[in-house]
Amino acid sequence: MSDLTILALSGSLRKESLNTRLLTSVARLAPPELAFDLFTDLAAIPPFNEDDEHPAPAAVADLRRRIRAADGVLVATPEYNGAMPGVLKNALDWLSRPVEEGPVLERKPVAIIGASKGPLGTIRAQLNLRVVLHKMDVTVVGQPEFVLPHAHEALAEGELPAGSPSHSILTAVVEGLVDLIEHRRAVASLAR
């Protein structure tokens, strides 16, 4: 595996967020060839308004720059009322534009994970996120899917226990993201 950078995007604003903790845990457990750029500041992204697109607000420009600089993106979404949080959808609306410049997430390799306190572990929020990313023409890792139910218990020690079934699936998701990045690179080099 060559050196890769992954933008790790937390869909939560909370200081003690389980989803941010999950991303931190992934970064700690990943092989050294993977560098993680953790983004936890969706609070800085203003509500999307077409009137404010030009020039883009500084926080939006910063997020776009960091996504462009990354080889892939790992999104950890909380679940609010059966869907992704509004702040995450708001950020995606900004990232879906400007259409004429080629949105930064278009065909970008992305993987989705999520942790919730409930028994379904963000499965509905992830489905909701997948639908939106599909519309945005983002390339998303299909399998495996990683959900972490009762995450306040599973992450009580701060990290997923190494060797646990959850940890193995999480590792497989990251491997799926790396495969997708490397596949896209191989296709791009053939096209040159």
Ligand X SMILES: Cc1cc2nc3c(=O)[nH]c(=O)nc-3n(C[C@H](O)[C@H](O)[C@H](O)COP(=O)(O)O)c2cc1C
For the bound state, the minimum distance from the C-beta of residue 42 to ligand X, rounded and expressed in Å, comes to 11
> CA 21 to CA 174: how far, in whole Å?
16
Q: DSSP character for 164?
A: S
For the bound state, the minimum distance from the C-beta of residue 49 to ligand X, rounded and expressed in Å, comes to 23
> CA 151 to CA 79: how far, in whole Å?
12
Which window, 56-64, 67-75, 77-85, 96-104, contacts ligand X (CB under 6 A)?
77-85
Cβ–Cβ < 8 Å for 115, 91: no
For the bound state, the minimum distance from the C-beta of residue 130 to ligand X, rounded and expressed in Å, comes to 16
What is the torsional sign of CA 21, 22, 27, 30? Answer: positive
Short-list 26, 29, 35, CA closest to 3: 35
List beta partners, residue 34.
4
Q: Which of 30, 48, 79, 104 binds ligand X (CB under 6 A)?
A: 79
Which stretch of DSSP H or E encloses residue 154?
helix 151-154
Q: Which of 31, 46, 47, 82 binds ligand X (CB under 6 A)?
A: 82
Q: DSSP character for 83?
A: B
- Closer residue to ligand X in complex, CB, 17/166: 17
Which window, 12-20, 45-53, 161-169, 183-191, contacts ligand X (CB under 6 A)?
12-20
> CA 166 to CA 12: how far, in whole Å?
21
Q: Which of 51, 54, 81, 100 binds ligand X (CB under 6 A)?
A: 81
Q: Which of 72, 78, 103, 109 binds ligand X (CB under 6 A)?
A: 78
Query: In the range 92-121, which residues lie near ligand X by CB under 6 A?
Result: 116-118, 120
Q: Verify binding: residue 47, ligand X, rule CB under 6 A.
A: no
The residues that touch ligand X, with contacts defined as CB under 6 A, are 12, 14, 17-19, 78-82, 116-118, 120
